[in-house]
Structure 1
Amino acid sequence: MRIAILADIHGNVLALEAVLDDLRQRGGADLVVNLGDCVSGPLWPRETMERLQGLDLPTVRGNHDRRVARDPLEDAMWPSDRYAHDRLTPAQREALFALPVTLEVAPGVVAFHARPDHDEKYLNETIADGRLVRAPLAAITRRLKALDPACRIAFCGHSHRSGLIHIPDGPVIFNPGSIGCPAYDDSTPPAHVSEQGSPHARYGIVEFGEPGRPDRFEAIAIDYDHEAAARQAEQAERPEWAHALRTGFMPG
């Protein structure tokens, strides 16, 4: 079985289309899974949502999917969430909110956005000197306590950082990286940045081995017209997003 994993599209329909085209050129997949944070960002939220609804992929709800779907009168929305909220239909927002937090996509294979029991806390990372770095193994293991012991592979996104971790006597955790947002800053204390270091769109492919053969994990980074995405962010008056889309780093 061959599974493609998409994550953190953030309204970047250009990057999404490039990934889907690259996947077709590689022979496709038996299943394509979406790890959430579909539309939040100053790009093309409605176009991205329409494309994803047409694909009808197994999808889990990310923290920004939840935030975009909330009534903006209930709380102050972050600018990227507000931008997407205002451009989606009520039915589209409801569809985002209705997505499951976790999903078993194959026997022993579980997908979630951030952690199995929380959509906004990091699993593989911790914050040091204002940046995301790899968390200690013991901390990652504790964060998996809500995961079914039968799980042997877990797919997660959220941090936008591609990574593969094998927990001793536990599951393999695979984060494919972000398709549409190569860097971001988060002002939630402690404030920090996540930077992929290049503008490439990232996704993953897992091929499950036959009995006696290991599984194969592939993290893929592809080029696309990130300059067009950066210009779109500039038109939305988000220069920091434009810089991130062009470089994979945050300004400064």
Structure 2
Amino acid sequence: MRIAVLADIHGNVLALEAVLADLERRGGADLTINLGDCVSGPLWPRETFERLEALDLPTVRGNHDRRVAVDPADDTMWASDRYAQERLTSAQREALFALPFMLEIIPGVVAFHARPDHDEKYLLDAIVDGQLVRAPLAAIQRRLKPLDPACRIVLCGHSHRPELIRIPGGPVLFNPGSVGAPAYDDDTPPAHVSEQGSPHARYGIVTLGGEGSDRFETIAVDYDHEAAARQAEQAGRPEWAHALRTGFMPKPAWQGSA
């Protein structure tokens, strides 16, 4: 069985279309799973929602899918969520909120957005000197405790960082990276950035061949990221434009002077 894994599209319909075209060139997949955070961002939230709706992919709810559904928006709503919220219908927002927190794709293969018990906490990552890095193995193992011990493959997103980790005596953990947002900053203490390091759209393919012979691929696809950057600039988000062009964040204000 061949499973395509998409995560963190964030309203970037251009990146999504490039990923879908690349997947088709590679012979497609038996199943394509979407790990959430579908529309939040200063790009094309409604167009992305409508494209995903037509695809009808098995999809889990990300933290931004939940946040976009808040109605009415208030002062605590992040700018990217507000931008998407204002451009979606109430029915579209309700559909995002109704997405499941977790899916078992087939026995032993589960998908969720961030962690098995929380949609906004990191599973595979730690924050060191303002950057996301791989978390210590013991910390990852603690975070996996809510999972069924029979689980052998975990598909997750949220951090926008591609990762592949085999837990000794436990499951393989796979994060394909972000389709549509190659970098972000988060000023929630402790403030940090996540950077994929290039503007490519990322996704993954998992080929199930039985325990011990599964294959995991992380794929980076070029697309018209300049058009996406210009869209972010028109929406008044120059930091998003920089991230879309480079895969890095401009130096956030919270980092202070060098």
The TM tier, using the shorter chain, reads over 0.9
Name 1:225's counterpart in structure 2.
224
Amino acid at match of 1:50: E
CA deviation string 1:14-73 (max 9, x = no partner): 000000000000000000000000000000000000000000000000000000001234
Q: Quote the Cα distance in structure 1 between the aligned partners of 2:73 and 2:193.
A: 28
SS at match of 1:87: coil
The answer to whether the 8 A contact 2:45-2:84 is kept is yes
Q: Quote the Cα distance in structure 2 between the aligned partners of 1:73 and 1:31.
A: 35
The answer to whether the 8 A contact 2:114-2:158 is kept is yes
Q: Quote the Cα distance in structure 2 between the aligned partners of 1:167 and 1:69.
A: 35
CA deviation string 1:145-181 (max 9, x = no partner): 1111111000000000001000011100000000000
Instruction: Give unpaired runs (5+ residues) of structure 2.
Output: 252-258
Name 2:185's counterpart in structure 1.
185
Name 1:50's counterpart in structure 2.
50
Amino acid at match of 1:45: P
The answer to whether the 8 A contact 1:34-1:59 is kept is yes
The answer to whether the 8 A contact 2:73-2:82 is kept is no
- Runs of at least 4 residues of structure 1 off by over 4 A? none
Q: How has the CA–CA distance of structure 1 residues 32 and 136 changed in structure 2, closer, same or farther, with 3 Å as cutoff?
A: same
Q: Quote the Cα distance in structure 2 between the aligned partners of 1:218 and 1:163.
A: 10
Query: What is the aligned-residue identity percentage?
Result: 81
Q: Tell me the CA shift for residue 3 of structure 1.
A: 0.2
- How large is the Cα RMSD of the aligned pairs? 1.0
Q: Taking structure 2 as the reference length, what is the TM-score of the superposition? A: 0.96
Name 2:9's counterpart in structure 1.
9
The answer to whether the 8 A contact 2:35-2:156 is kept is yes
The question of 1:23 aligning with 2:23 is answered yes
SS at match of 2:154: strand
Q: Taking structure 1 as the reference length, what is the TM-score of the superposition? A: 0.98
Amino acid at match of 1:109: V
Name 2:173's counterpart in structure 1.
173
Amino acid at match of 2:109: V
How many residue pairs match? The answer is 251
The answer to whether the 8 A contact 1:72-1:82 is kept is no
SS at match of 2:147: coil
Matches within 5 A, 1:69-88: 69-73=69-73, 76-88=76-88
Instruction: Give unpaired runs (5+ residues) of structure 1.
Output: none
Amino acid at match of 1:236: A
Q: Quote the Cα distance in structure 2 between the aligned partners of 1:76 and 1:114.
A: 21
Matches within 5 A, 1:79-118: 79-118=79-118
